[in-house]
């Protein structure tokens, strides 16, 4: 089912003020990592996320594995799955292959992205390829009609290549005008900035759901790496709180969970449709955040469904 339809159904069944949650995963580098991820998906499905999504390595570097994991998540685990797809440094034939495979697997949702260049390389449009995510959205709608639900990326602080936040918002609007039905944001730690961003989107006629992308802080080093990579502004009070505990992993994790709960509460109060967690393929912190938000039932915390059982129950 398309995520946009699942959101409508969720609202009908749970009321407009009860947000859904969803989880992002990335393809691990080793086969052992893939098996661990499958075990994790088996456990996380008990939390009943509205959907899960699987990232796509820059330039198609993980394409086979992303397709395989998306197929497994959708068909063996029975999780509504969205596959990321980038169009930078990719031939149109590779994009066609990926879309056809996703359709063959019954995956109904694509997160259409421009993508970043592989590390150390400049961003470039390849001959006959796409320049912007909006080109990919247009292409998917032209070739697949309404089969896919299409999500696109939004940047509350503005994308780092953008000439201005206003220009970036207009480009976001173009993606929606081309047929995207959902926006998922880049991670951020300033909720006021997110709320302002949503207001600006609404003011220029972007009316699709805007789902905040949330990354709980797991370790200080990881947090610094991710926020540097995504050029995320970190409010001073967070830096101040982390400074004295930065060498104590347990304390950082605990702080990360509490901060995330507070941020989510503010976003729920602001009326978001859902909370999208960048899990980094981990589960403890997200589970604790959802528990802190009282969004999961006690039985969902204790039951354990290992992969073998997940495969044999075949929830489809
Ligand atoms: P676009 O929407 O094309 O925007 C890129 C830049 O171009 C922006 O500055 C925009 O303002 C500008 N622009 C857009 N259209 C025009 C136009 N017509 N004229 C001039 N300028 C224009 N990367 C991966 O490699 N794999 C992933 O799986 C992945 N998942 C992601 C998931 C989310 C939720 C987010 C937020 C990001 C993800 N990324 C991923 C990173 C993403 O690929 C990069 O941020 C990339 O630099 C921009 O992608 P985009 O789709 O936002 O690009």
For ligand 1, atom 14, which residue shows the shortest CA distance? 171
Nearest to 209, CA basis, from 182, 169, 171, 170: 182
How far is residue 215's CA from residue 280's CA, in Å, rounded to a whole number? 8
Backbone phi and psi for residue 293, each to the nearest 5 degrees, phi listed first: -85, 0
Task: Give the pLDDT of residue 16.
Answer: 87
Nearest to 289, CA basis, from 206, 212, 198: 212
Ligand 1 contacts CB of residue 212 (under 6 A)? no
Task: Give the pLDDT of residue 307.
Answer: 52
Which is catalytic among the residues 12, 13, 24, 251?
24
Taking the complete model, does pTM exceed 0.90, yes or no? Answer: yes
Ligand 1 contacts CB of residue 226 (under 6 A)? no
CB of 191 closer than 8 Å to CB of 147: no
> 57: phi > 0 → left, psi -120 to 50 → alpha, else beta; which?
beta
CA of 116 to the centre of ligand 1 (A): 7
Closest ligand 1 atom number to CA of residue 155 = 36
Task: Give the pLDDT of residue 19.
Answer: 97
Task: Give the pLDDT of residue 308.
Answer: 46
For ligand 1, atom 24, which residue shows the shortest CA distance? 115
Task: Give the pLDDT of residue 53.
Answer: 98
Ligand 1 contacts CB of residue 82 (under 6 A)? no
CB of 53 closer than 8 Å to CB of 22: yes
Query: Which secondary structure element, helix H or strand E, spans residue 211, and what is its range?
Result: strand 210-214
How far is residue 280's CA from residue 47's CA, in Å, rounded to a whole number? 17
Could you tell which of 98, 115, 274 is best to mutate to test the pocket of ligand 1, judged by most ligand atoms within 8 Å of the CB? Answer: 115
Could you tell which of 132, 151, 154, 183 is best to mutate to test the pocket of ligand 1, judged by most ligand atoms within 8 Å of the CB? Answer: 132
Ligand 1 contacts CB of residue 73 (under 6 A)? no
For this structure, is 24 an active site residue? yes
CB of 107 closer than 8 Å to CB of 140: no
Ligand 1 contacts CB of residue 227 (under 6 A)? no
Closest ligand 1 atom number to CA of residue 123 = 47
CA of 184 to the centre of ligand 1 (A): 11
> ∠ CA 89-93-95 to the nearest 5 degrees?
65
CA of 300 to the centre of ligand 1 (A): 35
CB of 38 closer than 8 Å to CB of 308: no
CB of 53 closer than 8 Å to CB of 307: no
For ligand 1, atom 52, which residue shows the shortest CA distance? 153
What is the DSSP annotation of 49-109? -S-EEE---GGGTTHHHHHHHHHHHHHTS---EEEEEE-TT--HHHHHHHHHHHHHTT--E
pLDDT means over runs of 10, the chain (316 residues): 98 94 97 94 92 93 95 95 93 95 98 85 77 96 98 97 96 98 98 98 98 97 93 95 97 98 98 97 95 89 54 42
How far is residue 23's CA from residue 242's CA, in Å, rounded to a whole number? 25
CA distances from 178 to 37, 110, 132, 139, 171 (A): 34, 14, 12, 9, 11
Closest ligand 1 atom number to CA of residue 170 = 11
Ligand 1 contacts CB of residue 161 (under 6 A)? yes
For ligand 1, atom 12, which residue shows the shortest CA distance? 162
The C-alpha R_g of the chain, in whole angstroms, comes to: 19
Ligand 1 contacts CB of residue 168 (under 6 A)? yes
Ligand 1 contacts CB of residue 241 (under 6 A)? no
CA of 296 to the centre of ligand 1 (A): 33
Ligand 1 contacts CB of residue 184 (under 6 A)? yes
Task: Give the pLDDT of residue 304.
Answer: 54
């Amino acid at each position: 089912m398309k995520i946009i339809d699942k959101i409508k159904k969720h609202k009908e069944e749970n009321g407009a003020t009860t947000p859904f949650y969803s989880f992002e995963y990335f393809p691990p580098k080793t086969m052992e990592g893939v098996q661990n991820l499958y075990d994790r998906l088996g456990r996380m499905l008990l939390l009943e996320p509205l959907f899960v999504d699987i990232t796509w390595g820059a330039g198609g570097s993980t394409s086979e594995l992303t397709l395989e994991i998306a197929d497994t998540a959708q068909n063996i685990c029975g999780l509504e799955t969205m596959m990321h797809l980038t169009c930078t440094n990719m031939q149109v034939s590779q994009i066609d292959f990926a879309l056809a495979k996703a359709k063959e697997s019954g995956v109904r949702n694509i997160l259409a992205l421009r993508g970043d260049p592989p590390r150390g390389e400049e961003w470039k449009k390849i001959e006959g390829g796409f320049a912007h995510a909006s080109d990919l959205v247009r292409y998917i709608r032209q070739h697949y009609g309404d089969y896919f639900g299409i999500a696109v990326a939004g940047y509350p602080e503005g994308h780092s290549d953008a000439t201005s936040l206003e220009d970036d918002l207009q480009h976001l609007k173009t993606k929606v005008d081309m047929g995207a039905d959902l926006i998922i944001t880049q991670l951020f730690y300033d909720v006021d900035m997110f709320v302002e961003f949503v207001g600006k989107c609404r003011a220029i006629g972007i009316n699709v759901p805007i789902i905040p992308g949330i990354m709980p802080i797991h370790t200080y080093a990881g947090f610094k790496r991710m926020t540097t990579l995504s050029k995320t502004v970190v409010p001073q009070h967070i830096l101040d709180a982390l400074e004295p505990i930065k060498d104590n992993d347990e304390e950082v994790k605990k702080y990360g969970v509490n901060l995330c709960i507070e941020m989510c509460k503010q976003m729920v109060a602001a009326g978001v449709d859902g909370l999208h967690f960048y899990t980094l393929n981990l589960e403890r912190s997200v589970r604790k955040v959802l528990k802190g938000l009282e969004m999961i039932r006690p039985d969902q915390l204790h039951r354990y469904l290992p992969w073998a059982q997940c495969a044999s129950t075949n929830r489809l």
